[in-house]
Every structure is written in structure tokens, then in C-alpha cells.
């Protein structure tokens, strides 16, 4: 039962990381986060953390 919940949480974190990355790189505009170095660095890190959570939850069945 917990595996789908943790997997969904990891997927949401990964999607947020992707969104932050695209905003940081200036692909998605109209935000205070657009074209900023901070989000260009943090976005991919958040994306990797989200993917890692998904992978670990799927392997361990957490």
C-alpha cells in the first residue's frame, strides 16, 4: 500500500524539479524564477532526488 504513495510523491518531486529547471534555464518564462542561476542548479538536483525516490520505492517496496 505504501509503495504507490511514495512513488507518487517521488514523481511529484521530480516533476517539480523539471519545472524549476525549465524556469531556471528560461524555457518557461513569466516567473521570478525565470533565467536565474539558483533554479538552474537546484532544479536538476530536485529532479534527481525525485527520480531516486521513485527508483528506491519501486525496488524496495517501501
Which triple of cell numbers denotes residue 7?
A: 512513488
pLDDT of the residue at 56 = 94
Instruction: Give the tens place of pLDDT for each residue, 29-40.
Output: 888 888 899 999
The DSSP code for 1 is -
pLDDT digits (tens, 9 = 90+) for 36-52: 999 999 999 999 999 99
Whether pTM > 0.85 for this model: the answer is yes
| pLDDT surpassing 80 at residue 2 | no
Q: 59 CB contacts (<8 Å, ≥6 apart)?
A: none
Domain count, the chain: 1
Domain containing 35: what range?
2-60
Amino acid at each position: 500500500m505504501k509503495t504507490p504513495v511514495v512513488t507518487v510523491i517521488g514523481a511529484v518531486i521530480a516533476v517539480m524539479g523539471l519545472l524549476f529547471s525549465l524556469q531556471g534555464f528560461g524555457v518557461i518564462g513569466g516567473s521570478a524564477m525565470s533565467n536565474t542561476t539558483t533554479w538552474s542548479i537546484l532544479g536538476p538536483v530536485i529532479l534527481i532526488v525525485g527520480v531516486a525516490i521513485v527508483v528506491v520505492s519501486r525496488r524496495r517496496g517501501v
